[in-house]
Amino acid sequence: MDDGKKADTLLHWADDQSLAHVVPNSHTSLRSNRVIDYAFIKGLNLDIQVYNGNTTSDHLPILSVISLNSSQYKLGKNIHWKVFSLFSEYTFSFWEENWNLSSIDITYNNYIRILYLLSGRCTIVFNLNKYRSALPAEIRSFLSYIRALSFRQLRTKCSTLKKEVCFLKKIAKKELNIFYATQLDNLIRLRNSSSSSSFWYRSKRFFKPSSSSLYGFIDISGQIVKECDRMCNLAADYYENFFKASTIFRPHPYTDSPPTIFDNISESIPEVTLDELLNTVISKKKKKSLDAHGLSNHMFNFLDLNYWSLLLNLYNHSFQKSILPSAWKDTRMILLAKKDSICPPSLTRPISLLDSFQKIGEKLFLTRFCDLLARRGLLSDSQSGFREHFRLQTRLLLFLEDIYSLMSNSAPVCTVFVDFRAAFDQLWYLGCIGKLRNLGIPSSYLNWIEAWLVNRRCYIEINGCKSRWFSIEKGGPQGSVLT
């Protein structure tokens, strides 16, 4: 080589480390014909290609491709929601006849079981031989139309359809090429720009020094456990003990003080109307995360609207009688690492995935509970956190203004910041109910909140493995709008 002593030193070091060098297939500098990009590899194949499109730099962008062989089969799935919607519409008359609120647990359990089995029956699972990029909805719809037309041509053996399918496939191929080229051009054009996407793409790894992915647990003996079933058992043992009811010394002023009689003690929870229920369902953000019964609220987009008239009766029955189906209290819990990806179970953050239909009921109850708090004036304007139409920034500015005002008058200033450890997970149910009772919350609301809190259970899932069920005797349900 004619690059001097520095290049020789680098190459000798690479040979000592058993590293192979890879260079692009052509020059990458616009100032000369020199190849100024270099890569060292060990144990894998790397292909460096030069992008010959337009660029604002004096250096041509490069594309690196690493070939990897995976021994694990990646599975993809596709749910035929149209079939799901049609079948749910077809079976509505059966559920209308058998919807029995006197045996609410059996009725609801059978209903969600059927929905789970139906979604599974409408799901097609297939091997992913290669990764597929995300396509716009219009291109996906066009490809689905071509696929359906192709199947029709195979059944009918129609020559006219065959010509049309071939013509449409050429159009689809052209559209895909244009889309991929546009995506690549946009990525390279924004790579060195001042746009926000480019900034966050480059800086996010510095703002997040740790990963939330969980790769293993450290048990009490210091051994690292990476088997999913053992990890589930370790986590279940820890959180079962963590969520056991705390020892409370009685009598306690929250639960054992003489009750105060308020004028609204007999106030009932207002009934839900069908329009309100449908508006709540439509406005709810749809996600594909599954609850403990294998359902997600993404399914609501395809569930026949007539079913909500049955669920309306269920919600009103729950509010009037303070009775909740036991399945509403089942929770699927996943764990995220707080810092290190291999850590003890105590250094994980539990995320609870609640029943999809129960979250609609919680939203309906929250609307009524907030209205009650507003009518009784229980929340002062200084309470800005976790309130609609209130901003925490406003409270912070007022706090700073008070400090500046005192300091300008040479008055002493002392600030105490208090953060209770695991306060959310230490909620004492009876104490919470007792405190709300002392604030003048009617019995109908208190009974429903108590029924909503007690007798909860959950299981922990890690990489598809599930732990045993265990009880939750304290702490608020994470992921709920009520907490």
* pLDDT of 63: 77
As a whole number, mean pLDDT of residues 455-460 equals 95
Number of structural domains, the chain? Answer: 3
Q: Is the pLDDT of residue 167 over 80?
A: yes
Minimum mean pLDDT range among 67-71, 202-206, 226-230, 419-423:
202-206
User: CA–CA separation, 469 vs 262, rounded Å?
Assistant: 41
Which carries the bigger pLDDT value, residue 148 or residue 185?
Answer: 148
Last residue of a domain, one of 27, 43, 67: 67
* pLDDT of 365: 96
* pLDDT of 191: 66
Exposure on the CB side of residue 179, measured as CA atoms within 13 A: 14
Which carries the bigger pLDDT value, residue 67 or residue 256?
Answer: 256
Alpha carbon distances (Å) from 254 to 102, 259, 460: 34, 10, 33
Q: What is the pLDDT of residues 70-108, one digit of tens each?
A: 555 677 788 999 999 999 999 999 999 999 999 999 999
* pLDDT band (50, 70, 90) for residue 20: confident
CB 338 within 8 A of CB 465: no
Same domain, 202 and 229: no
Same domain, 25 and 90: no
Same domain, 158 and 57: no
Q: What is the pLDDT of residues 403-447, one digit of tens each?
A: 999 999 989 888 888 888 778 888 899 999 999 999 999 999 999
Same domain, 49 and 138: no
Last residue of a domain, one of 33, 67, 101: 67
Instruction: Return the HEC string of the chain.
Output: CCCCHHHHHHHHHHHHCCCEEECCCCCCECCCCCCCCCEEECCCEEEEEECCCCCCCCECCEEEEEECCCCCCCEEEEECHHHHHHHHHHCHHHHHHHCCHHHHHHHHHHHHHHHHHHHHHCEEEEECCCCCCCCCHHHHHHHHHHHHHHHHHHHHCCHHHHHHHHHHHHHHHHHHHHHHHHHHHHHHHHHCCCCHHHHHHHHHHHHCCCCCCCCEEECCCCCEECCHHHHHHHHHHHHHHHCCCCCCCCCCHHHHCCCCCCCCCCCCCCCCCHHHHHHHHHHCCCCCCCCCCCCCHHHHHCCCCCHHHHHHHHHHHHHHHCCCCHHHHEEEEEEEECCCCEECHHHEEEEEECCHHHHHHHHHHHHHHHHHHHHHCCCCCCCCCCCCCCCHHHHHHHHHHHHHHHHHCCCCCCCCCCCCCCCHHHCCHHHHHHHHHHCCCCHHHHHHHHHHHCCEEEEEEECCEECCCEEECCCCCCCCCCC
User: Is 415 within the bounds of a domain?
Assistant: no
* pLDDT of 231: 94
Q: Is the pLDDT of residue 2 over 60?
A: no
Same domain, 79 and 51: no
Same domain, 196 and 237: no
Same domain, 333 and 284: yes
Q: In whole angstroms, what separates CA 80 from the centre of its chain?
A: 22
For the chain, the average pLDDT equals: 86
Same domain, 197 and 322: no
* pLDDT of 264: 87
Last residue of a domain, one of 48, 67, 86: 67
Same domain, 253 and 117: no
Q: Is the pLDDT of residue 115 over 60?
A: yes
As a whole number, mean pLDDT of residues 25-35 equals 77
User: Is 480 within the bounds of a domain?
Assistant: no
Range of the domain at 19: 5-67
As a whole number, mean pLDDT of residues 462-468 equals 92
* pLDDT of 460: 95
Percent of the chain at pLDDT above 70? 92
Same domain, 260 and 362: yes
As a whole number, mean pLDDT of residues 154-177 equals 92
* pLDDT of 69: 62
Phi–psi pair at 440, nearest 5 degrees: 95, 25
* pLDDT of 1: 43
Q: What is the pLDDT of residues 187-201, one digit of tens each?
A: 777 666 666 666 666
Position 178, amino acid: I
User: Is 367 within the bounds of a domain?
Assistant: yes
Minimum mean pLDDT range among 288-292, 308-312, 380-384, 447-451:
380-384
Same domain, 328 and 250: yes
The answer to whether the pTM exceeds 0.95 is no
